[in-house]
Amino acid sequence: MMDTTMELDDLKQAWAALDRRLARQESLRLHLFRSDRLDKARRGLRPLFWGQIVQILFGIAMIVLGATLWNSQRDTFALLATGLVIHAYGIATIIASGLVLAAMARIDYAAPVLAIQQRLAALRRTYALASAVVGLPWWLMWVLVTVAIPGLGGVNMYAAAPAFVWISLAIGVAGLLGTWWFHRRQSKRIDANAWDAVAACGGLRKAQAIVDEVARFELD
């Protein structure tokens, strides 16, 4: 009887040891899967990071162009106003990129998956807003930049080529309205009413998909 009891105890201990070993293996498998997938998500956001750096440099260029124009053409109101608008656009561009970079920096890939998902969602909203602030006005800003460059030499395109300026602005307005219509139509098509539904870049969508995959894996 004692031998049977000892055999049962040994069997229970063996099963307990096996359970602990399997639990450790499962924990290790989950850790490796999570680390690999989240590292891939982090790498996938690198193009977005460098894109914001380039956009900041572009914003600096706009500030330099605008400031140079309004400083040198203060006697010509149209060119002065053009320079101020370009200057303000450059500042807005830098701020928008800074907000996106800050949202990226707040993502802690060692945090729980739910927290990472929330941070990525916040990044997506921030990026969508920044894209709208910087991208949509460009339909008109390119006309002002075209006017500003010869304006540095004292050439007032508003007076020298008014037809070109007005036609260009009309094209810009048409492009602006067309872009707004396209995004609104796409948002409705995918059953969403937010700009970020279609404005998010590919790398950000992939990162969200990867983190969602990790979340599902942890639940299985």
The whole-model pTM stands at: 0.79
Q: What's the pLDDT tens digit per position in 35-48? A: 777 788 888 888 89
Asked if residue 4 is part of any domain, the answer here is no
Establish if 129 belongs to a structural domain: yes
Q: Is 116 part of a structural domain of the chain?
A: yes
Block residue for tokens 């260009």: 168
Residue 38's domain spans which residues? 13-219
Give yes or no for a contact between 208 and 44, defined as CB atoms under 8 angstroms apart: no
* Token pair of 18 as six digits: 């096996």
Does 104 fall in a domain? yes
Task: Name the region of 154 (left: φ>0; alpha: ψ -120 to 50; beta: rest).
Answer: left
Contact of 111 with 134, CB cutoff 8 Å: no
Domain annotation covers residue 56: yes
Please state the domain count of the chain.
1
The predicted structure's pLDDT at residue 213: 74
Q: Is residue 5 a part of any domain in this protein?
A: no
Residue 147 lies in a domain: yes
- What one-character-per-residue DSSP string does 151-177 give? HTTT--HHHH-HHHHHHHHHHHHHHHH
In a domain? residue 7? no
Residues 205, 45: Cα–Cα separation, whole Å: 10
Instruction: Give the model confidence (pLDDT) of 152-166 as tens digits.
Output: 998 999 999 999 999
